[in-house]
Amino acid sequence: MKTALLFAGQGSQSVGMGRDLCERHDVCRQLFARANAVLGRDLQTICFEGPEQALTKTDNAQPGIFLTSLACLEALRSLIPELQFDATAGLSLGEFTALTAAAAVSFDDGLRMVQMRGRFMQEACDSTNGGMASILNLDDAVLAEVCREADVDIANINCPGQTVISGDKDNIAKAVELAKARGAKRAIPLVVAGAYHSRLMEGARVKVADALASLPMQLPRVPVVSNVTARPAGGVAEIKELLVRQVTSPVRWSESMQWLVSQGFTRFIELGPGSVLSGLMKRINRDVEMLSVSDGATLEATAAKLRA
């Protein structure tokens, strides 16, 4: 059985994430303390206590999700020391977590990079008037035409029938109306800070490129699926190039999961706050085994299934 680890992206954060894992597992407490020391600030309290407005800020949410996701992995390893996996993948921010889990990047370097990425993206949000919307059950060709007419971009291809668009807020409103008029089951504006994975993130893309140039990285121990290509990269230079492109490119999540299934992967473990990726997998392929670790209860349940 081939197993892939999956890591969530921004939007999965919730106040209290990681707290009960730290209460139960020394390895999680140590990782959160390490994060505070690396960043020189109290990220743990923001994760545990919020307030929600602070946790939702991109430069807190991204390192917070990264930290909590890797704490979930360490907690699972503490219960299942023989845990093995054959690939990793992560949605947007989660791709950095996936690379860290695959030992391409150290925890310290990954955490610093993710905090910088979050800050750069927040700055891009603050300097533009961006928005996003989720479009449900609209033909791909029709949606592409809607995007052209409204001058917005495809941001996330999450699963069959669910695509997220991104761009100027007024243009997003126009695209929502066009999508509804042309048969979308639903077209829902999202409550987000800006237009992620669109051309409005160009300022962040340039800064991420500069930061990634000096990020220590080695070949991952297992394949890490890129959001941009829905395939693993060929080497460190290509990994970094794709991470830069990812800032303004669509996240091809549905295709990434389909590729893994085509390669014989039958077990997927989502690690981190929330269960967004598990929900998407139900729409992508119901035949695979989908496990998750987000807190103490899901950790115990997943560990029990792996032991069985």
Residue 197 annotated in active site: yes
**Residues whose CB falls within 8 Å of the CB of residue 69, separated by 6 or more in sequence, listed in order:** 7, 8, 90, 94, 97, 271, 272, 273
Contact (CB, 8 A) for 44 and 126:
no
Strand ranges, E, within 59-184: 87-90, 130-136, 153-159, 162-168
Identified catalytic residue from 92, 226, 249, 278: 92
Separation of first and last alpha carbons in the chain: 13
Within 10 A of 112 (CB to CB), how many other CB atoms are there?
Answer: 17
Question: Phi/psi of residue 187, each to 5°?
Answer: -140, 110
Sign of the Cα torsion 16, 22, 24, 27 reads positive
One-letter amino acid at 219 equals L
Identified catalytic residue from 197, 226, 249, 294: 197
* β partners of residue 166: 132, 153
What is the number of H-type helices and E-type strands within the chain?
Answer: 14, 9
Residue 78 annotated in active site: no
Sign of the Cα torsion 40, 122, 239, 3 reads positive
Give exposure, 268-301, as e/b (b: 16+ Cβ within 10 Å): bbbbbbbbbbbebbeebbeebebbbbbbbebbee
Distances in whole angstroms, Cα of residue 148 to Cα of each of 151, 170, 179: 5, 14, 12
Q: For residue 294, what are its two tokens?
A: 């987000």
Longest Cα separation, the chain: 54
> Which residues are marked as active site?
92, 197
